[in-house]
Amino acid sequence: MSRIVLAATPIGSSRDATENLRDLLGQADVVAAEDTRTLRQLLRRIGVHPTGHVVSYHEHNERERAVELVERAQAGATVAVVTDAGMPSVSDPGFRVAAAAQEAGVRVSALPGPSAVLTALAVSGFPSDRFCFEGFVARKAGERRRAFAELADERRTMVFFESPHRIAATLADMAEAFGPERLVAVCRELTKPYEEVRRGGLGEVAAWAADGVRGEITVVVAGADPARRSVTAADVAPEVLAAVADGTRLKDAAAEVAVRHGLAKRDVYEAALAAR
């Protein structure tokens, strides 16, 4: 039966590979992998020998390859799409081929399995009845801080992906935007032998991360207290004036404070002028 199958792969332990995954990888006409080397390592560990054609499918060729994969499915092939770990399309390639297949009338199905998002959420101990997945944190400091400022009042539990070499800076920025007492769980190397979950206030956990953290990381942050009041431009005007007193130009100080709190620069500037 022609179809596109988005298949979840283990996020750590290869023992989490399901029998359905083994069957699919061994029998699919085409296996599209984010990294073919990583796929072949998994295949060796789980003892599967693919009979179909293995091709690459990653962020750099996703748009073109999606068309090819849909065409193969339209011709009668079963096409398996896998990423290095977890479910395709969740901050990984997979979205484009699923969308293209749906538009072409090709059946799309998913083979469920391991997910770093849900695993971290489960072990964090934070409310899971309502949560949001924010994907990978922005690499640039300014963009990252603006994003966190916009999320400061988010009441749902938040889940992020982050790299080990940026986690310390990210947690420090979260502590500034959300407050040092906001609870966070840094989940490292999930399902692997050295799995670790570090839970505590953002200020405390940021200090721990400053010494260096290794491995694959998923960050879970508790939602804002419902009693938290949204910050207004008038609220932050004293911060702007304090910066001006230290020698910063009013315009520059207003822009910096606005970014920090996720507010409009013009509103903060005018509020500071009024408070002078």
In the chain, what is the straight-line distance between the N-terminal and C-terminal CA atoms, in Å?
Answer: 72
| Strand bridging mode 183-188 / 217-221 | antiparallel
* CATH number of the CATH domain containing 41: 3.40.1010.10
145 in the same domain as 248: no
Q: Which of 114, 135, 169 is the last residue of a domain?
A: 114
pLDDT at res. 230:
67
242 in the same domain as 210: no
* Beta strand segments in 137-255, E: 157-162, 183-188, 196-201, 217-221
User: Which residues on adjacent β-strands are paired with residue 79?
Assistant: 4, 30
- With respect to residue 257, please indicate whether it lies within any of the assigned structural domains: yes
**Residue carrying the six token digits 């020998």:** 49
Q: Residues near 155 by Cβ (< 8 Å), separated by ≥ 6?
A: 130, 223, 224, 226
Q: Which residue has the higher pLDDT, 228 or 234?
A: 234
Our count of domains for the chain comes to 3
104 in the same domain as 24: yes
Q: Which of 114, 133, 153 is the last residue of a domain?
A: 114
Is 49 a residue whose pLDDT tops 70? Answer: yes
Of 173, 149, 154, 169, which is closest to residue 265 (Cα–Cα)?
149
Model confidence at 256, pLDDT cuts 50, 70, 90, reads confident
pLDDT at res. 258:
84
Is 50 a residue whose pLDDT tops 80? Answer: yes
Mean pLDDT of 248-264: 85
Q: What is the pLDDT of residues 89-131, one digit of tens each?
A: 888 889 999 999 999 999 999 999 999 999 999 999 999 999 9
197 in the same domain as 213: yes
Is 1 a residue whose pLDDT tops 70? Answer: no
Rounded to two decimals, what is the model's pTM?
Answer: 0.78
Model confidence at 264, pLDDT cuts 50, 70, 90, reads confident
Q: Contact 253/210 with Cβ under 8 angstroms?
A: no
Mean pLDDT of 78-94: 91
261 in the same domain as 243: yes
Q: By residue range, what is the domain housing residue 77?
A: 3-114
Record the tokens describing residue 73, joined without a space.
């499915």
76 in the same domain as 124: no
206 in the same domain as 246: no
Q: What is the pLDDT of residues 188-227, one digit of tens each?
A: 999 999 999 999 999 999 999 999 999 999 999 999 987 6
Q: Which of 94, 114, 134 is the last residue of a domain?
A: 114
Is 57 a residue whose pLDDT tops 80? Answer: yes
- With respect to residue 248, please indicate whether it lies within any of the assigned structural domains: yes
Question: Of 1-5, 26-30, 42-46, 167-171, where does mean pLDDT reach its minimum?
Answer: 1-5
194 in the same domain as 264: no
Is 132 a residue whose pLDDT tops 70? Answer: yes
128 in the same domain as 104: no
Q: Which residue has the higher pLDDT, 2 or 101?
A: 101
Model confidence at 229, pLDDT cuts 50, 70, 90, reads low
212 in the same domain as 132: yes
Query: 5: part of which helix (H) or strand (E)?
Result: strand 3-7
SS3 12: coil
Is 24 a residue whose pLDDT tops 70? Answer: yes
pLDDT at res. 140:
92
* H helices present in 105-228, as ranges: 116-124, 141-151, 167-178, 202-209
DSSP 9: B
- With respect to residue 165, please indicate whether it lies within any of the assigned structural domains: yes
110 in the same domain as 125: no
- With respect to residue 228, please indicate whether it lies within any of the assigned structural domains: no
Output phi, psi for 91, to 5 deg: 60, 25
Q: C-alpha distances in angstroms, 200 versus 194, 203, 205?
A: 19, 8, 6
Mean pLDDT of 72-85: 95
pLDDT at res. 2:
81
244 in the same domain as 181: no
Q: Residues near 228 by Cβ (< 8 Å), separated by ≥ 6?
A: 152, 153
- With respect to residue 260, please indicate whether it lies within any of the assigned structural domains: yes
- With respect to residue 226, please indicate whether it lies within any of the assigned structural domains: no
Q: What is the pLDDT of residues 150-175, one digit of tens each?
A: 898 899 999 999 999 999 999 999 99
Model confidence at 271, pLDDT cuts 50, 70, 90, reads very high
